[in-house]
Amino acid sequence: MKELHKEKTMPKATARRLPLYLRYLKMLGDSGVTRIKSKEFSDVIQVPPATIRRDFSHLGELGRSGYGYDVPYLIEVFSHILNTQEEKRIALIGCGNLGKALVKNNFRRNENLNIVCAFDIEEELVGLSVDDIIIQPMENLAEEVKKTGVTVAISTVPSQFAQEAIDKIVDAGITAILNFAPDRVTVPNNVNVQYIDLTTELQTLIYFDETFPHKNV
């Protein structure tokens, strides 16, 4: 891969969109799409084409005028940029079925992402072991973050309780949060929250399945 010109002054908004670009590019690639223009990508991802071109320009010459972008190359570029080179220790908040499944899987495909502790407010869950990780009460969160060096949290807490859980995560000093509740929460400016909306993801999957019938375009 040719050298990338990743600027240290890349806007924060651009950096936040990079994982979104990669996720949709991989879906395009899986659907057999090998080349795409910014307008076509805009229709898929619902980001203005001018914004896409501006974001991509921060990383060098990724495409050609009139031709567009090579999807496999873009996947390679964004995968390289977003690859985590050092271990990120993660706290899992909410140990229902989804939370337990995440702990059991524990990012086996990426050894640098590691769930090291889990928490819940339900007394019947506290003390249970999930793949050698003991579920702890939420009041232990701040102390455990300091002890284990956790820098990231994943919250699977339902929407109606999400703000309370996020507040406790922030109070513990964590500034990177993956939230499986789709409703937006309020956090300080220095905290980054990424939302996972399973309904939206499913609708996106159906859109791709109906729009790109698994053949080269």
pLDDT in the model for residue 7: 46
Residues 78-98 have pLDDT tens digits of 888 887 567 789 999 999 999
Question: Is 96 known as a binding-site position?
Answer: yes
Higher pLDDT, 57 or 86: 57
Question: Is 83 known as a binding-site position?
Answer: no
Closest CA to 154 of 132, 169, 172: 169
pLDDT in the model for residue 65: 76
What is the pLDDT of the chain when averaged over all its residues? 86
Residues 65-74 have pLDDT tens digits of 778 899 999 9
User: Following CA atoms 79, 81, 82, 87 in sequence, which dihedral angle do they give, to the nearest 10 degrees?
Assistant: 120
Residues 164-210 have pLDDT tens digits of 999 999 999 999 999 999 889 999 988 989 888 888 778 777 877 77
How far apart CA 154 and CA 94 sit, in angstroms, is 8
Question: Is 117 known as a binding-site position?
Answer: no
Q: What is the pTM of this model?
A: 0.69
Q: How far is CA 105 from CA 26, 102, 180, in A?
A: 21, 5, 16
pLDDT in the model for residue 215: 47
Residues 133-171 have pLDDT tens digits of 999 999 999 999 999 999 999 999 999 999 999 999 999
Question: Is 94 known as a binding-site position?
Answer: yes
Question: Is 62 known as a binding-site position?
Answer: no
What are the phi and psi torsion angles at 112 (to 5°)?
Answer: -90, -5
